[in-house]
Amino acid sequence: MSERKRRAVSRIHRLINPVMRPLSGRIPGQALLETVGRRTGLPRRTPVGGRVEGGSFWFVSDHGRASQYIRNIEKNDRVRVRIGGRWHTGTAVPLPDDDPRRRLRRLPAYNGLLVRLLGTDLLTVRVDLDRPGDRAAGGGMRD
């Protein structure tokens, strides 16, 4: 059932993500995650819901390692995140030992509800944001 559910939810994401991309990062609780495509090397942008805590941006992937952006992160962990209309560079760290359902209680409620309902293999991800002056993200990650 979870594979069928994942495919159905992925189709929904393909419809909704193009609408959310321009809005993400400007709506409270929503951000735009930019990874480098593992095959193409091109920037790939995905709307995610999360929150900055202690110099890191936290979010939960609803399909875990089946998500294309998680596969991209596993190949190249340098990412950008647009939060509040501004881009931030950082290093993404998937945390398979973190309890994603518990983590969702600390993240924006609306997004957490959707991730719990639609998710098939939840995975917590922490993006350690660079401080000003730290190294810039590589791999064609420019606005």
Helices (H), the chain: 2-20, 68-75, 100-104, 109-118
Model-level pTM?
0.78
Alpha carbons within 13 A on the beta-carbon side of 67: 28
Write out pLDDT tens, residues 92-121: 999 999 999 999 999 888 777 778 777 888
Q: Which of 4-13, 60-69, 111-120 has the lowest mean pLDDT?
A: 4-13
Closest CA to 129 of 97, 100, 98, 86: 86
User: Does domain 2-129 correspond to CATH entry 3.40.50.970?
Assistant: no
